[in-house]
Amino acid sequence: MGQVSESHPEPVVPAEEATIADGPAAAPEPVDVDPAAPETAVEDESTAEAAAPVDQPSGDGPSGDEPSGDGPSGDGPSGDEPSGDEPGTDESGSDESDESEEADGEDTVPEEPTWTRIALDGDAAEAVLNAVEDGGVVVLPTDTVYGIGVDAYNATAVNDLLAAKGRGRDVPPPVLIGDGAMLKALAQDVPDTAEQLIAQHWPGPLTVIVKAAPKLKMDLGETGETIGVRVPAHDQVREILRHTGPMAVSSANKTGEPAATTIDDAIEQLGNAVALYVDGGDVSENGFEPSTMVDFSKRAEGIILRVGAIDVRTIRETLPEASTLRPEDDPDLPEEPEEPAESADAEESDSAAEGDQTADLETPNTETPNTETPDPETPDIEVGTPGEDPAAGQADGATEADPGDPEVPVPAESSEPEESVEDHAVIAAQIHGANEDTVEDPGPGDEPTKAPDA
């Protein structure tokens, strides 16, 4: 232990205390210390005492030989670890807050466009061809509204079209072709009546529905083995269709939203779901009337499923026997006046009163009522209308007999009828969207209507 006291360095007097002790005029004298003293001076006494027993034999030193909890690891924070109050922590928290704000802002950032917009000019046909060959979705003008179209032979692209509109496979799109001669390649049979109507209204807003060719490699959705075909009255679009071949085309809009009449309308609704937008200007002058749909797949005379740009009487100028799916669409049917409910009730009460009077007249009482008690041996005689045939009365009574009476014939139950033409027309209208795609503005409280197919 004497060795420890000899080697312990003397405490170093701070510079300020030395100046005060020596006087203001005296300069501080250098302290003569061992070269190793500065390192020893910065250590506290507990550290020095802990270091001293290194030379002592094992087991001879006091219990203070081991480091106490008063050292750097016990009393205060270590110089190597910053406390939570230091500026670095605030800066870290601020950075996390900024990152959180940036993450929240990403939801409001507009999606980067991936589509291309071109003008409807001489190069449009080549651009549309390249897009549809790659399986892309295209928006282009038609003679009615803007249409969204794909290669009709590409089932994946057709599904992309339906997904872009938010529509299911239960409403397949019609097919646009560049020339009427293409129809026979798509249809199993085209009746003469259909060809007559086509000759009058193609190119134009007329969609004909016919039986699809059995080996037609098109998956347009749930078509019921039929196909709707149209040739648009738009020269530049027909030229595009001659390059691309048949295209499945529907109106360029989300289902239930207004049909697009400008390319900006279509972009706003469809965005990146479309690869190529062909700008053909404002087509609102064409009106919002869809094409008229006539079904020839079940009835050769034609059933008008949807009345559009071509009215019923114009169709009947070519096909006098054409019928309408809905009676209210037929302008040639006489309108039946509706009777007020009060008038109908009054007529029912009058009929009942007349029935009572008739019953009284059928059994007139021509004799003075007999007040005497009738003889029980005398049989009752029914009084009938003078001149009435008794056999007729028996016949009338037979109609009131029990239905189970073997003498009364019971009509046989009729068998289930086959599907009628009208039933088929309703199904066809549902398949091709004739019931859904309307252009009338909804009135107050009405459900929103869907836009027409192109």
Print pLDDT tens along the chain (454 aa). 444 444 445 555 444 444 444 444 444 555 554 544 444 444 444 444 444 444 444 444 444 444 444 444 444 444 444 444 444 444 444 455 555 555 555 555 678 999 999 999 989 999 999 999 999 999 999 999 999 999 999 999 999 999 999 999 999 999 999 999 999 999 999 999 999 999 999 999 999 999 999 999 999 999 999 999 999 999 999 999 999 999 999 999 999 999 999 999 999 999 999 999 999 999 998 877 889 999 999 999 999 999 999 999 999 999 999 999 999 999 998 876 666 655 556 566 565 555 554 444 444 454 544 555 545 554 454 444 444 444 444 444 444 444 444 444 444 454 445 556 556 566 666 666 665 443 333 333 333 334 446 6
In this prediction, residue 423 carries a pLDDT of 62
Nearest in space to 453 (alpha carbons), one of 242, 207, 266, 227: 207
In this prediction, residue 289 carries a pLDDT of 85
Going from N- to C-terminal start, the domains of the chain cover 116-329
In this prediction, residue 98 carries a pLDDT of 53
Which DSSP letter does residue 65 get? Answer: G
In this prediction, residue 430 carries a pLDDT of 65
In this prediction, residue 282 carries a pLDDT of 96
In this prediction, residue 234 carries a pLDDT of 96
Buried b (16+ CB within 10 A) or exposed e, 429-438: bbbbbbbbbb
Strand-pairing partners, residue 138, are 149, 276
Nearest in space to 261 (alpha carbons), one of 454, 415, 115: 454
Nearest in space to 248 (alpha carbons), one of 266, 235, 229: 229
In this prediction, residue 40 carries a pLDDT of 40
In this prediction, residue 19 carries a pLDDT of 42
- What is the CATH superfamily name and number for domain 116-329? DHBP synthase (3.90.870.10)
Cα dist from 88 to 78, 79, 84, 94, 102, whole Å: 16, 15, 8, 10, 21
Cα dist from 8 to 44, 66, 72, 404, 419, whole Å: 12, 18, 21, 133, 117
- Reading the block at residue 275, the tokens are 């690869």
Buried b (16+ CB within 10 A) or exposed e, 282-299: ebeebebbbbbbbbbbbb
In this prediction, residue 111 carries a pLDDT of 84
Question: Quick one: CA dihedral 218, 220, 221, 224, positive or negative?
Answer: negative
In this prediction, residue 236 carries a pLDDT of 96
Strand positions, DSSP E, 275-315: 276-279, 292-295, 303-306
